[in-house]
């Protein structure tokens, strides 16, 4: 790490959100220095769920840059052009590319910004330096501990996998986020596999396992009566527009809560129409063919899992019978969702400087900067973890280009003010 350098921006995490910020800083009219740190050795955008054929849930134009700068050299269209696939992509007439193609786009964009990125380092804390003008970012990597200094830190460490209470991950109980790594490491055949959940991850996994394990029984533990469709109709989709973020931010608390209630079915515990139909078709085909290896346990929640000899014994609570039953499986996959990004652990050393609301959540300015208890020249910004202030798009890709532009503008304005 170069000594005596104080970066204008140090980014913690280098997933799509901070990659988009790196693009915004590179394209900014002001000269802003930056360094991005990520614990992963290479881009791994939800690599554990990079299933073949899985589609994006956002239109390709909501890429790293286009909504902020439609002529950016880091747009998805520029990537297609650069890789010689623009015509083929357009022939397909599909706004929603595969997750694998989007991942290749992220790799391509990162390659153009490699000098701003340091990988293989985990950020462990952020502390004030004491001079009031900068912060120290602490990190650990293969070569031990290190640190760097920044005037602004932008935290974007991503969603946090959530297991059902009382169930821990082990060799035979996996969270969906680590599915592919675990699946590839399995020794011996899988004959009975369970998937808990009724969101997009669960539905994609049930379809994948059913198709890839032709001799296995697949058990889906679905808490509702059936999978519900993700509302991606045009009026509902406006909740993800930049204007939707503005409206949410300025709305009173009860309106924020109403927006969540009305529109959480755009994203949470819901499944794309195509995947639901694929699953239904498989279930129907089983009836006509007389095969019976796809089992939907509806109104059912997984309560516990424990290893018994060669099996994982799962206890399932059925809301239909108001009783629990046990089932022996080879593997249980908990596609039970995520908690929002939580920067509190990283910000422990700054805690006294940061303002919180009456529910103990960070106060966040419209420009995504945390409110400080007193006037401060240093800025901590969040990309993610701002669902309570900026709404449903906080953890999604929909607004990353705009949000990154807003952060870059805010950092530049503060730098000019300092001068
Ligand atoms: P992301 O999680 O992508 O990146 C965080 C980065 O921080 C990681 O690279 C991690 O290694 C790093 N990191 C974490 N802690 C660190 C530390 N202490 N030190 C250093 N580095 C650290 N949304 C959407 O709009 N459209 C979509 O199609 C999808 N698809 C999708 C698929 C799946 C399977 C999931 C689980 C989620 C989605 N999402 C989504 C939502 C998802 O949150 C979004 O796509 C982005 O991943 C958000 O980007 P971020 O950069 O904020 O987080
Ligand atoms: P999710 O939408 O939060 O769904 C979690 C599911 O688990 C819910 O149905 C929940 O039911 C259920 N659940 C919780 N505890 C349970 C238990 N004990 N037993 C059985 N079920 C239980 O999570 P997700 O599906 O992982 O999706 C998270 C995000 O990733 C979303 O934004 C999604 O769009 C995205 N994603 C995208 C793709 C893609 O782009 N192709 C793929 C996967 C995921 P309750 O709601 O009743 O608690």
3-state secondary structure 354-414: ECECCCCCECECCCCEECECCCCCCEEEECCCCHHHHCHHHHCCCCHHHHHHHHHHHHHHH
Mean pLDDT of the chain: 96
Q: Which CATH architecture has domain 161-230+268-334?
A: 3-Layer(bba) Sandwich (3.50)
Question: What's the pTM?
Answer: 0.97
Domain ranges of the chain: 6-159+340-418, 161-230+268-334, 234-266
The pLDDT of residue 104 is: 98
Please identify, by atom number, the ligand 2 atom nearest to the C-alpha of residue 164.
Answer: 18
User: What's the sign of the alpha-carbon dihedral 213, 166, 268, 62?
Assistant: negative
The answer to whether the beta carbons of residues 228 and 199 sit under 8 Å apart is no
The answer to whether the beta carbons of residues 23 and 79 sit under 8 Å apart is no
* 159 alpha carbon – ligand 1 mean position (Å): 6
- The full length of the chain comes to 419
Q: pLDDT per residue over 184-223, tens digit each?
A: 999 889 999 999 999 999 999 999 999 999 999 999 999 9
The pLDDT of residue 2 is: 65
Residues with CB under 6 A from ligand 2: 49, 54-57, 99, 164, 176, 196-202, 204, 221, 223, 267-269, 301-302, 335-338
- Domain 6-159+340-418 = CATH 3.50.50.60: yes
The pLDDT of residue 210 is: 98
- Ligand 2 pocket test, pick from 52, 57, 180, 197 with the greatest ligand atom count within 8 Å of Cβ, gives 197
Fold match, 6-159+340-418 / 161-230+268-334: yes
Q: pLDDT per residue over 257-293, tens digit each?
A: 999 999 999 999 999 999 999 999 999 999 999 999 9
The pLDDT of residue 132 is: 81
Cβ neighbour number for residue 133 with a 10 Å cutoff: 14
- Ligand 1 pocket test, pick from 18, 35, 38, 142 with the greatest ligand atom count within 8 Å of Cβ, gives 38
């Amino acid at each position: 790490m170069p000594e005596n350098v104080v970066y204008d921006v140090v980014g913690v995490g280098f997933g799509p959100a901070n990659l988009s910020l790196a693009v915004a800083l590179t394209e900014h009219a002001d000269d802003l220095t930056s360094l991005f740190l990520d614990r992963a050795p290479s881009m791994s955008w939800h690599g554990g769920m990079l299933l073949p054929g899985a589609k994006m849930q956002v239109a390709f134009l909501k890429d790293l840059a286009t909504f902020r700068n439609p002529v950016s050299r880091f747009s998805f269209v520029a990537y297609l052009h650069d890789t010689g696939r623009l015509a083929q992509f357009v022939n397909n007439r599909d706004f929603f590319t595969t997750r694998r193609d989007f991942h290749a786009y992220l790799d391509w964009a990162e390659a153009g910004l490699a000098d701003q990125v340091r990988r293989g380092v985990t950020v462990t804390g952020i502390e004030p330096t004491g001079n009031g003008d900068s912060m120290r970012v602490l990190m650990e990597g293969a070569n031990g501990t290190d640190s760097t200094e920044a005037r602004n830190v932008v935290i974007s460490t991503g969603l946090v996998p959530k297991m059902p209470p009382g169930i821990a991950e082990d060799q035979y109980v996996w969270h969906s986020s680590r599915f592919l790594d675990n699946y590839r490491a399995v020794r011996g055949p899988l004959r009975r596999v369970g998937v808990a959940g009724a969101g997009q991850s669960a539905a994609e996994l049930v379809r994948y396992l059913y198709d890839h394990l032709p001799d296995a029984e697949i058990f889906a533990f679905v808490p509702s009566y059936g999978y519900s469709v993700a509302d991606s109709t045009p009026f509902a989709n406006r909740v993800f527009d930049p204007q939707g973020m503005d409206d949410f931010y300025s709305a009173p608390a009860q309106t924020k809560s109403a927006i969540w209630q009305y529109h959480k079915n755009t994203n949470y515990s819901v499944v794309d129409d195509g995947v639901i139909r694929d699953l239904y078709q498989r279930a129907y085909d089983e009836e006509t063919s007389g095969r019976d290896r796809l089992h939907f346990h509806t109104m059912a929640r997984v309560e516990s899992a424990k290893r018994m000899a060669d099996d994982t014994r799962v206890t399932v609570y059925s809301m239909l019978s108001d009783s629990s039953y046990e089932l022996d499986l080879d593997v249980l996959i908990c596609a039970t969702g995520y908690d929002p990004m939580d920067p509190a652990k990283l910000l422990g050393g700054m805690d006294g400087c940061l303002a919180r609301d009456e529910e103990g959540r960070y106060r966040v300015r419209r420009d995504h900067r945390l409110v400080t208890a007193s006037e401060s020249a240093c800025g901590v910004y969040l990309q993610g973890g701002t669902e309570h202030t900026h709404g449903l798009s906080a953890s999604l890709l929909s607004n990353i280009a705009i949000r990154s532009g807003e952060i870059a503008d805010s950092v530049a304005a503060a730098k000019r003010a300092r001068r």
